[in-house]
Amino acid sequence: MAIRSVRSPSARPSPSSTKPGAADAASKPNKPGLPDAASKPNKPGAPDAAAKPNKPGAADAASKPTKPGLPDASASSPSGKLGNKLSALKQDGFDMGGIGGKAAELGKLLDSAATVLNSIAQLVQGITQGVQGVAQGVQGAADAVGGVAGAVGGAANAVGGAVGAVGGAVGSVGGAVGALGGAATSVLSLAQPPMQDPTAGMSQAPTL
C-alpha cells in the first residue's frame, strides 16, 4: 500500500505569490535592450541638458565681453579708474608703496641732518663762549698788570715823598745852622768896641 504525502499548510504557496517565471514589480527589470528610466541617457548625439553648451558662436553671459568702444563697468567707476591708473603706473615703474617708503627714508635723513646741524650750532656756540671767556681772562690779566704798575708807581711816589721829606728836613737843619751862625755874628759884633778913625783929630795939613 503506497503512502501519500500530505503537504503542510505552511508549505502551501500564498495567493499573493507571483506566477512562475514572473519577477517582483519592484525588482522588475526593464525590457531587454532598454535602459533604466533613472539612468536613461540622452538621445544619441544629443548632449546632456545640464551640460548643454551655448549656441555655437555665442559666448557665456558671465564672460560676455562688452561691445567694442564701450568701457567696462568696473573701469567706468571711480574705484575702477583709480585701480587702472595705479596698475598703469606700476607697469611704468611707478609704485606708490615704494614712493612712500622712499619718502619715509628721506624724512629720516632730514631728521638726521637737522640733528647734525643742531649739534654743529651748539658746538659753534660753545666755541664762541670759550673765545669770549679767553678774551675776558686776557682783559682781567691786563687789569691786574695795570694794577700792579699802579701799585709800583704809588710806591715810587711814596719813596719820592720820603726823599723830599728827608731833603726838607736837611734844609730845615741847614736853616737852623744858618740862624745859629747869624746869631753868633751878632754876639761877636756886640762884644768888640767900635774902631776909631786914625785921622780923627788931625789938623789939616798946610798947603805948600
d(CA 168, CA 174): 10
In percent, how much of the chain has pLDDT > 90?
A: 29
Which residues, 6+ apart, have CB-to-CB distance to 30 below 8 Å?
36, 37
119 pLDDT band, cuts 50/70/90, is very high
Cα(first)–Cα(last) distance of the chain, in Å?
A: 276
188 pLDDT band, cuts 50/70/90, is confident
Task: Read off the pLDDT of each residue in 36-43 and give the average, rounded to a whole number.
Answer: 52
Which residues, 6+ apart, have CB-to-CB distance to 35 below 8 Å?
41
Question: Whole-model pTM?
Answer: 0.30
Single-letter amino acid code for the residue at 189: S
In percent, how much of the chain has pLDDT > 70?
A: 44
Is residue 18 predicted with pLDDT exceeding 90?
no
Q: Are 18 and 24 in contact (CB under 8 A)?
A: yes
Q: Are 75 and 84 in contact (CB under 8 A)?
A: yes
Task: Read off the pLDDT of each residue in 82-86 and give the average, rounded to a whole number.
Answer: 67
122 pLDDT band, cuts 50/70/90, is very high
pLDDT of residue 86: 63
| Maximum separation of any 2 CA atoms in the chain, in Å | 276
Q: Are 102 and 94 in contact (CB under 8 A)?
A: no
